[in-house]
Amino acid sequence: MAARSYSVIYGKDMIDYMRKVDPDTAEKLDPRGTNVCYFSMLHNDTDIRAKMLLKVKGDSKPLEATIDMPIATWNKISQIIYDDGRETVNAPSN
């Protein structure tokens, strides 16, 4: 079954972005879940545009989202595994 589509990550860094997860939807996401980014690109020379599958609480079907975020926010993601097997693990920052 296909992922549900929701073209809009949440938080104060995202307030001015059109492609983000709104607060009501953010409450439905599983904070302990694994989210998968299957596409990313540099956007406007200052941001990252990512297509992600987000884990929803109590649901086996992910939420599909297109999200724009500042590069600094992208760099806060704790682990990135690339198609070619390279892995980046970033220390969590507060």
- The answer to whether residue 15 sits within a structural domain is yes
For 64, the domain range is 4-89
CA-CA distance, 29 to 69, in Å (whole number)? 18
CA-CA distance, 9 to 20, in Å (whole number)? 5
In what order do the strands lie in the sheet containing 63-70? 4-6, 63-70, 47-54, 36-43
- The answer to whether residue 33 sits within a structural domain is yes
- The answer to whether residue 21 sits within a structural domain is yes
Domain count within the chain = 1
- The answer to whether residue 40 sits within a structural domain is yes
- The answer to whether residue 94 sits within a structural domain is no
Write the DSSP symbol of residue 88.
E
- Encode the chain (94 residues) as per-residue pLDDT tens digits: 333 333 345 555 566 677 777 778 888 988 888 888 889 899 988 888 999 899 999 999 999 988 888 888 787 776 666 667 666 666 444 4
